[in-house]
A and B are shown apart, each in its own frame.
Chain A
Amino acid sequence: MSYRSPLGHARGLGSAKQGTHHFWVQRVTAVALIPLTLWFVFSLARLPSADFDAVTWWVAAPSVAVALMLFIGCALYHSLLGVQVVIEDYVGSEGTKIVALLLSKFVHVVAGVAGIFAVLKIALA
């Protein structure tokens, strides 16, 4: 049993250096996603067809490719921050929490890289 107070443990370690960064980036990506989501939803709804040629032609247009990569990047970053909070809120045990956080981070980064690479491959083909 430790007789040190919580303050004693924390003193001298400095701040966590994170401050309001998580909160702020969640909002920055949210604001960026307002126009990107509107564009994404209406563009998909306005696609003349869902077949291979029509969708490839749509993704390959430079403005669409850029907007799509921004949407994927912002959405996955926003998702990563959101899922992190859900895990921190509901996963009790410290070990499971760290594993879940790592897994979420890896899945989000892999999805982001794969999505952006797919768009680039189609656009630059």
Chain B
Amino acid sequence: MSTPATSKTTPPRPLSPFMIGPYYKPQMTSMLSITHRLTGLGLSFGALLLVTWLVCLASGVDCYNAILPHLTAWYGKAVLVAFTWALLYHFCNGIRHLFWDLGKGLDMPTAEKTGWGVVFGSLLFTAAVWALALFVK
């Protein structure tokens, strides 16, 4: 892309992520928006982890048994709980985004209400999934 001639006369301005803090007051809705992006980025790595797990499973019992103790150890479980929450947060907030795309729930009181719904919903959902995994057999 060639730079338009006018850009040389434009003073440098602070861009998006650096606006929060010194220029914009952090708000619940903007924090949830950032969290959506961060969980999304984290889940990209989670997807690579899922693929690694499946490739290892497909390549045989030796490879699988080499990684299984790490998955079931306390630190492995902690990482999996974190990924579960990230997935369910991105899931719940993603549905909130789809409603916005339909033009619904865009007013501030509703956006804040659905925002808290996403926060508590994703935490409850994560707790329910892990209760199901650990205690219901």
Contact = CB atoms under 8 A, between A and B. Distances in A.
Interface of A: 1-6, 9, 27, 30-31, 33-34, 37, 41-42, 44-48, 50-52, 55-56, 59, 68, 72, 75-76, 79, 82-83, 86, 89-90, 94, 107, 111-112, 114-115, 117-119, 121-122
B95 to A, nearest CB: 7
Q: DSSP class of B's interface residues: helix, strand, loop or mixed?
A: helix
B108 interface: no
Contacts of A4: 5
Contact of B91 (A34, A72, A112): A34
Contacts of B5: 1-5
Interface string B1-20: 11011101000000011000
A44 to B, nearest CB: 7
A23 to B, nearest CB: 9
B101 A27 contact: yes
A56 B43 CA distance: 24
A118 B59 CA distance: 8
Nearest to B84: A41
A52 B57 contact: yes
A122 B57 CA distance: 8
Contacts of B6: 6
A45 B133 contact: yes
A112 B50 CA distance: 11
Contacts of B72: 50
Interface string B48-92: 101100110111010011001001100000000000100110010
- Which of A1, A79, A89, A122 has its CB near the most chain B CB atoms (within 10 A)? A79
